[in-house]
Structure 1
Amino acid sequence: MHLTFLGTSAGRPTRTRNVTSIALSLPEPQCAFWLFDAGEGTQHRMLGTKLKLNKLERIFITHMHGDHINGLPGLLSSRSYFEGAGPLAIYGPTGLSSYLNGIFELTGVHLNYELNVIEISAGEVVADDRYIVEAAELQHRMPCFGYRITERPQFGQLNLRRLAELNVPPGPWYGRLKRGEDVALQDGRTIRASDVVGDMQPGRVVTILGDTRPCGNAVLLAKQADLLVHEATFAGGLEEKAASYGHSTFAQAAETARDAGAKRMIVTHFSSRYDDEQVAELANGVKEIFAGIEPAVEMIDFHVSKPSRTSEG
């Protein structure tokens, strides 16, 4: 599992940074990816990555500001040209459906795949056999959501040495045991999954927030997250300006991560007044608040490590 930042600039692009979009690449067996926001130029940025639109399963929109959605219509249209593009679900605030329908009607777009647009409210928005996605409202100048992605607990590793000792031949039995199923072999023996599979391991938690002032829901969504993505539009000393625009400073983002007990935080959505060197300095300057802060770098994969805690923890 890893994140790729396709845009990290606030409001408008710069010479070195595009506007907001984040891809979350999922591990096997899905090998798909989800997209969080799609600012103008998102699909063009994807051309410099291994991401393919036929592998895109879900899109989550935080809010309806243009720097977060203006790349969406073109991306959806281009997806029709990718062979094997299956159904696609888009989640976001009220107004998302009418926005897309209006553009498609006026521009004559016809998609050759099923598109489901789900206008969400706070609470659980996705639950499948691998992931749960929850949303909560943040504090911005317009309705805006943050998302908490929880990977369900995973079965432990197969004990291949023990399987060899038991003369269990490789094949479909391994897959069933890995899924926690006991299997009956042709020689009459029953192999119990608990005897050859390691303990259940907790899944990862990734929190991706939209634009926001410091607020309680940001802390709740990021509680004990393995990775938190938080906006950091302004430097310290500009708290009043940040509040007026519904944004956070680097220090305020660090305080949210600290208060939530997050393991690691990547900040993004930087004002165009700061170049990359200044962004790095601003992140380093608040490490006394939260040591695990690092600035997003576009087109670089940020891997999300599996948690070391046990399932009981």
Structure 2
Amino acid sequence: MTARITTLGTSHGSHTYCRFNTATLVEVGDVSYLIDAGSPASALMLRGEKRIQPLRGVFLTHMHEDHAGGLPGVIKALLKAPDPGQHTDVFLPEVEARAGLEAWLVAIRLRWPSPLVTLRTVRDGPIYEDDLISLEATRTKHLSDRYGPASFSYRMTIGDKRIVFTGDLSSDFSDFPAFAKSEPCDLCVCEMTHFPPEAALPTLMDSPIGRLVFNHIHDPWHGPGEARLRAFFDELPYEFHIAHDGDEFEV
């Protein structure tokens, strides 16, 4: 089965003149899944003519605002005009995030709680499975785990296809997910803000990746800087792309 991946938003911690915060939509058949929900995720789905009602799962890599700030808007859109039988699981990477999110949903006068949305917590290992996909998580070092696991990478399996979403990583790239280094994936969506390109190149050269998409793009690589970033990775032994808002990829 073919999956369509849309990089709705591709910026780093702040919006820029050409990029919004990070959100990536995966469409499989008639349903969809969202990896991160930086703002304005629901508006970008609407602008891209992506219906929100088929959204089965939302998976946040961590709770920084540029990855989670659009989640209340996504939930509002899910509740506003539901389809029969509609339901969405929302996975939060920290237990403490639930109370704050629910308080805000009540504060903005949504009908909450709702049977349309279930809040869950991410853990290491398999976290989600339905009739089309399965998803597993592994911790990264982007956020301190002093109070428990807080930041994650994901691997989505769709039939015989695998897609890796790195989420945000550490400055030395040492937490690039092991399942992307040791097992082939058809597509890897990798952030490009928190480390210098030269730190990532050796690992990416040796990883069995079919195609690489950089998102979460740092300021130096916007506009004219994109050519410089591309030059860093020209020797990769596989196809790579520097994503822009609204780009689509199929696997």
TM score, norm. by length of structure 1? 0.71
Q: Distance in 1 between matches of 2:216 and 2:206?
A: 21
Q: Secondary structure at the match of 2:101?
A: helix
Instruction: Output aligned runs, 1:1-313, within 5 Å.
Output: 1-27=3-29, 31-84=30-83, 86-94=86-94, 95-111=96-112, 113-142=115-144, 143-152=150-159, 203-213=160-170, 214-216=173-175, 218-221=177-180, 223-233=183-193, 247-304=194-251
Q: Secondary structure at the match of 1:269?
A: strand
| 1:277-298 C-alpha deviation (Å, 9 max, x unpaired) | 3224312322214442211121
Asked if the contact 2:209–2:238 (Cα under 8 Å) also holds between the matched residues in 1, the reply is: no
**Larger strand proportion, structure 1 or 2?**
2
Once the 2 structures are TM-superposed, how far is the Cα of residue 2 of structure 1 from its aligned partner? Answer: 1.3
Once the 2 structures are TM-superposed, how far is the Cα of residue 300 of structure 1 from its aligned partner? Answer: 1.9
Q: Distance in 2 between matches of 1:294 and 1:75?
A: 27
Q: Distance in 1 between matches of 2:196 and 2:5?
A: 22
Q: Distance in 2 between matches of 1:280 and 1:54?
A: 38
Counterpart residue type for residue 114 of structure 1: L
The aligned residue for residue 147 of structure 2 is none
Counterpart residue type for residue 218 of structure 1: P
Q: Distance in 2 between matches of 1:295 and 1:280?
A: 10
Q: Distance in 1 between matches of 2:130 and 2:42?
A: 27
Q: Distance in 2 between matches of 1:248 and 1:82?
A: 41
Q: Distance in 1 between matches of 2:10 and 2:207?
A: 23
Q: Unaligned 5+ residue runs, structure 2?
A: 145-149
Q: Which moved more, 1:214-223 or 1:5-14?
A: 214-223
Once the 2 structures are TM-superposed, how far is the Cα of residue 301 of structure 1 from its aligned partner? Answer: 1.0
Q: Distance in 1 between matches of 2:237 and 2:200?
A: 9
Runs of 4+ residues deviating >6 angstroms: none
Q: Secondary structure at the match of 1:80?
A: helix
Once the 2 structures are TM-superposed, how far is the Cα of residue 50 of structure 1 from its aligned partner? Answer: 2.3
Q: Percent identity, aligned pairs only?
A: 24
Once the 2 structures are TM-superposed, how far is the Cα of residue 225 of structure 1 from its aligned partner? Answer: 0.6
Counterpart residue type for residue 87 of structure 1: H
Q: Secondary structure at the match of 1:133?
A: strand
Once the 2 structures are TM-superposed, how far is the Cα of residue 303 of structure 1 from its aligned partner? Answer: 1.2
Q: Unaligned 5+ residue runs, structure 1?
A: 153-202, 234-246, 305-313
Once the 2 structures are TM-superposed, how far is the Cα of residue 257 of structure 1 from its aligned partner? Answer: 3.0
| 1:197-247 C-alpha deviation (Å, 9 max, x unpaired) | xxxxxx1100011100212551324531100011111xxxxxxxxxxxxx2
Q: Secondary structure at the match of 1:53?
A: coil
Q: Secondary structure at the match of 2:224?
A: helix
Q: Distance in 2 between matches of 1:52 and 1:252?
A: 39
**In angstroms, what is the RMSD of aligned CA positions?**
1.9
